[in-house]
Structure 1
Amino acid sequence: MSSRDHSPARFPVAVDVVALTVRDDVLHVLLVTRLIEPFRGRLALPGGFVLPGEDLQEAAVRELAEETGVEKVSGHLEQLGSYGPGGRDPRGDVLAVAYLLLAPDFPVLSAGSDAEKAGWYPVSSILDDHGIRLAFDHEKILRDGLERARSKLEYSPLAAAFCGEEFTIAQLRAVYEAVWGLPLDARNFHRKATGTPGFLEETGKVTAGDTGRPAALYRLTAAARPEPGHPARAVLNPPLMRPVS
């Protein structure tokens, strides 16, 4: 008979947020500079410990507000995965639950809590061996979040989460290119995006004030728009598959 102690383990639970947006046609991640140890002065994902009586998503939203000054963000928020508890924090066992936020570009107002500053960083500057090392296991969490986002864009209408309510096909294509990290043929993408049932509908309006030709504005169909508790109801069929690089 095993002598191992089978009583429940007790350790802190933390949340981390992989917040992604597209700025100037480049995919960015929201990072904070840690103000305290461990990893003081290192870049990290926004996050912190879950408070007593707080559910996980509440904790994620609160930590995002405390560390970046962002009180309310539109877009898509979902649970990404869990990490640990062992080997990820020098203070001891900590279970981290990560969330993925896909959002239109928004300003980072101020840093707070245990963050010295907060800002947007190109994802490529973190993951393409530029010498920037994130605190804890946050590089792995970021990589997982990036792959989740890339997959989501194939099978769901969540690319629009990076746009406003109305957008052009060129703006939507720029999102796919930024997230996938690949150039796309404009005509082929237009045909697939507008021809996918239940994805987009024309608003009857066009862009104005730009130097180029006016472009038609689109929005998600009613079936593809998120609802509370059902953030991504629609499934793209056929999917918009990533080109093979």
Structure 2
Amino acid sequence: MSFTYPFPRPALTTDAVVICTEDQSILLIERKKEPFKGNWAFPGGFVDEYEAIKDACVRELEEETSLSLSTSDAHFIGVFGKEGRDPRGWTVSVVYLFEVTQDKKSKVAPGSDSVAVRWFPLAQLPDLAFDHKEIIAEAITRK
């Protein structure tokens, strides 16, 4: 069935904010592709058609970092879709927070869309892609 609507439709993405509670560090990926190739960002990506958003978040997290977590570990942070957050066009991201312990830190490795993965102290963040700096601030206030 084909539908035509007189209004634009956004792309739907999801992002994982993964924080180690013991040392207050955050997991970031170095992006392999444009936009923001070479910049640091959250693990995340596009939601497949009819895929549950939490499932997509956990899938993208594992694909990009090798870190396998459960949807039950995901805590809703918010929905972000302001104009200009993604140079590819109108993109809306559903963001989840995952809190992990020190033992999970050694289990990460680069994956499909990441050149590198690294834990950064929350107090010493690099320049971030997209609107991820704003999202971190929101995640910390909701923790």
Would you call these one fold, judging by a TM-score over 0.5? yes
CA deviations on 1:62-103 (whole Å, 9 max, x unpaired) are: 011000001236983211101115210011110111111112
**C-alpha displacement at 1:147, in angstroms?**
1.2
In the other structure, the counterpart of 1:136 is: 130
Q: Which runs of 5+ in 1 are unaligned?
A: 1-5, 127-131, 150-245
Deviating more after overlay: 69-78 vs 112-121: 69-78
**C-alpha displacement at 1:146, in angstroms?**
1.1
In the other structure, the counterpart of 2:28 is: 31
In the other structure, the counterpart of 2:115 is: 116
4+ residue segments displaced more than 6 Å? none
In the other structure, the counterpart of 1:187 is: none
Q: Which runs of 5+ in 2 are unaligned?
A: none
Tell me the distance in 1 between the aligned counterparts of 2:16 and 2:68: 14
**What secondary structure does 2:107 align onto?**
coil
In the other structure, the counterpart of 2:42 is: 45
Tell me the distance in 1 between the aligned counterparts of 2:6 and 2:71: 42
In the other structure, the counterpart of 2:90 is: 93
- How many residues align? The count is 137
TM-score by length of 2: 0.88
**What secondary structure does 2:111 align onto?**
coil
The one-letter amino acid paired with 1:123 is: L
TM-score by length of 1: 0.53
Contact 1:74 1:103 in 2 (8 A): no
Tell me the distance in 2 between the aligned counterparts of 1:48 and 1:92: 14
Contact 1:14 1:97 in 2 (8 A): yes
Higher strand share: 2
Contact 2:16 2:57 in 1 (8 A): yes
